[in-house]
Structure 1
Amino acid sequence: MDNWKQTAITSLLFPASITTALLRRNEKQPPPGKLVHTERGTFHVIEKGKGPVTVLMDAGLSGQSLHWHRVQEILGSCTHTISFDRKGYGWSSRREYGDGLSTVRDMEAILAALGISSPLVLAGHSYGGLNVRLFASENRERVKGIVFVDAVVEERYLTDGFDSKRKKEWRNSLRMMKFGHYTAYTGLPRLLKMKVGGRYMFPELEKYHSFVGYSPKAYEAVFKELRDSGITAQQVTNSRPLDRSLPLTVIQSGNQSPEWTGYQEGLKALSDDVREIKTTHGHNVHMENPELVAEAILKHLSFT
């Protein structure tokens, strides 16, 4: 039904859709990383550095591999790193689903296709924190540490527990993402400057910004992930708890709202071996201060 509605709107606004298609063709950029073909689809992967431990990074809701660029530039001189575009984002295949456990299977497929069997340190930003927790639960023997970058806990998306304010906020966000998905081919989100992944991109990567930010399949991906966020949250709730001895680092933004600080407290309660880093940065700490995040990740390498 969603695809039918998108097709109907695209056809109805046919002149605008043609103009948008021409703009998209002019904006097209080759991937900065490599396309990895797996049994679960094709994924854009940026791989840097070498070493006995692999750092696997997952972006937040609507984010993609380019957001980890400067962190990878720092880490690539001393360890093996991987960032990737979840399905629908960047240069990866179109997304068919929105739940976190499916994303975990994608992550496992990427590692298998690359022939990587090394121990892993995970880094997850915001919504990506849920995905890396699920991955760690499913791959307990391989994961040797996790760095949460202003991440959330499952309560953020457990819709049954929403109060009226949070329910309204979630519904408004979903409505906006649905609008972006339905009208993506017409160029309306572009006119409204609704870039998937946010308005900021590192200056050295700016040439990619419009291509990844106004991609129709990216609007579809963020809509499906938000739509199915309650399923992801329930999957995390039902997952096997992390090992209490697993080293964790919880990097916090300057958001001091009771709701957000509660999420950070929830993350710290997941293990008995936790390092806390408080900052005054905005939500995208890994983009504002990549040196701090890279240093936090490097400390985990000494634990493996």
Structure 2
Amino acid sequence: MGLGRAALDPRGRFADIGGRRMHWVEAGPPKSTAPLIVFEAGSFGFSADWAVVQERLAARGLRSIAYDRAGLGLSDRGPSPRDGLAIAEDLEKLLAAIGEGGPFILVGHSMAGLHVHLFAGRNPRQVAGLVLVDAIDPEGATHPMVRRYAVHFGRLSHLAAGAASLGLFKPLTAALGDRIELTEEAAPQKRWAFAHGPHNRAASEEVQHWEAAARQARQAGALDPAWPVAVVTAGSVRGFAWSKAIQARPAQASRHGHVANVATASHANLLGRRHADAIVDGILHVCQALTKAA
């Protein structure tokens, strides 16, 4: 790409979390009394994944932050194992380091459904609501089909880490580097990470601890039914009714649930320019439910 790490994200800032630097991106107006929206990216994802959603929320006057987990994007590597507890603890340290004490609306994509569930269970007084974006549910993670997919994805992620480390992904960057369809500012960041060996190795390590993360999320207990929960999924329901039903459970268990499916979206481009409004709508549902309850 020819881009130095420091030039990759002019929006981003760094916070020290005990001798390690963590990269984070803020969007929207200055601090207010409204809940801060905190984004958690899916596997192999990082802060750039949320650029479109953050931009659209900022246009509505909503403040949000996205960040790079340890070893991903521009953040320093963290100690092993990179399981759910390690990820939750890092996010807790980051929020404390930047002076954010909540309340938070947690938004998690894909595997990050496990991470936001665990964070909420560990920090219930700081959580106001959740939005799950084509996400994995901790209880649903025990389904045989989901477990089978996780094993397959774990093998693929290991191969991806090796291929990226050997430079084999660089010729594919233009075609495959940004399947989300990000903003002009964020797309180069996503393409850089796609071919970056250290990023892929750190992401693969997280995937290898998928089962531990799911178990830790289950041990955190059920979500508080008083929390508004929005679920936004992608792809056709045909042939996948069972998985859509699993994904919808957290919203159905909430007193203020919202479920939407974008049939024309993919797992990746649900976050992009064509389909991000569905995620924005889910976040607005949570915000409106909180306003009514106040």
TM-score range, shorter chain: 0.7 to 0.9
Report how far residue 62 of structure 1 moved.
1.0
State the match for 1:298 in structure 2.
284
State the match for 1:63 in structure 2.
45
- Assess if the C-alpha contact under 8 Å between 1:55 and 1:81 holds in 2: yes
| Alpha-carbon distance between aligned partners in 2 of 1:263 and 1:198, rounded to the nearest angstrom | 28
Q: Return closer, same or farther for 1:300/1:171 CA change in 2, 3 Å cut-off.
A: closer
Report how far residue 108 of structure 1 moved.
0.8
Cα deviation per residue 1:99-136 (whole Å; 9 max; x = unaligned)?
Answer: 11211111111110101123111111111111111111
State the match for 2:164 in structure 1.
184
State the match for 2:254 in structure 1.
271
Name the amino acid aligned to 2:271.
H
Percent pairwise identity: 26
Match of 2:199 among 218, 242, 265: 218
Report how far residue 144 of structure 1 moved.
0.7
Q: Return closer, same or farther for 1:154/1:118 CA change in 2, 3 Å cut-off.
A: closer
* Structure 2 alignment gaps of length 5 or more: none
- Assess if the C-alpha contact under 8 Å between 1:195 and 1:214 holds in 2: no
| Alpha-carbon distance between aligned partners in 2 of 1:251 and 1:240, rounded to the nearest angstrom | 22
Name the amino acid aligned to 1:41.
R
Report how far residue 253 of structure 1 moved.
1.5
Q: The residue matched to 2:170 in structure 1 has which SS? A: helix
| Alpha-carbon distance between aligned partners in 2 of 1:125 and 1:248, rounded to the nearest angstrom | 14
TM-score of the superposed pair, with normalisation by structure 2 = 0.84
| Alpha-carbon distance between aligned partners in 2 of 1:262 and 1:128, rounded to the nearest angstrom | 18
- Assess if the C-alpha contact under 8 Å between 2:41 and 2:112 holds in 1: yes
State the match for 2:211 in structure 1.
230
Report how far residue 36 of structure 1 moved.
1.4
Report how far residue 206 of structure 1 moved.
2.9
| Alpha-carbon distance between aligned partners in 2 of 1:146 and 1:103, rounded to the nearest angstrom | 17
Q: The residue matched to 2:124 in structure 1 has which SS? A: coil
| Alpha-carbon distance between aligned partners in 2 of 1:170 and 1:123, rounded to the nearest angstrom | 21
Q: Return closer, same or farther for 1:41/1:90 CA change in 2, 3 Å cut-off.
A: same
Report how far residue 154 of structure 1 moved.
2.2
RMSD in angstroms over aligned alpha carbons? 2.5
Matched, 1:47 2:26: yes
TM-score of the superposed pair, with normalisation by structure 1 = 0.81
Q: The residue matched to 1:76 in structure 2 has which SS? A: helix
| Alpha-carbon distance between aligned partners in 2 of 1:83 and 1:291, rounded to the nearest angstrom | 17
| Alpha-carbon distance between aligned partners in 2 of 1:195 and 1:36, rounded to the nearest angstrom | 33
Aligned length in residues: 276
- Assess if the C-alpha contact under 8 Å between 1:124 and 1:149 holds in 2: yes
- Assess if the C-alpha contact under 8 Å between 1:58 and 1:83 holds in 2: yes
Match of 1:286 among 262, 268, 271: 271
Pairing 1:1-304 to 2, within 5 Å after superposition = 26-29=2-5, 30=7, 31-32=9-10, 33-39=12-18, 41-49=20-28, 50=30, 51-52=32-33, 53-77=35-59, 78-95=61-78, 96-155=80-139, 157-158=141-142, 162=144, 167=148, 169-191=149-171, 199-204=179-184, 205-256=186-237, 257-280=240-263, 281-284=265-268, 285-287=270-272, 288-302=274-288, 303=290
Q: The residue matched to 2:213 in structure 1 has which SS? A: helix
Q: The residue matched to 2:207 in structure 1 has which SS? A: helix
- Assess if the C-alpha contact under 8 Å between 1:251 and 1:276 holds in 2: yes
Larger RCO (CA within 8 A; separation ≥ 6) = 1
Q: Return closer, same or farther for 1:220/1:244 CA change in 2, 3 Å cut-off.
A: same
Name the amino acid aligned to 2:154.
L
| Alpha-carbon distance between aligned partners in 2 of 1:177 and 1:240, rounded to the nearest angstrom | 29
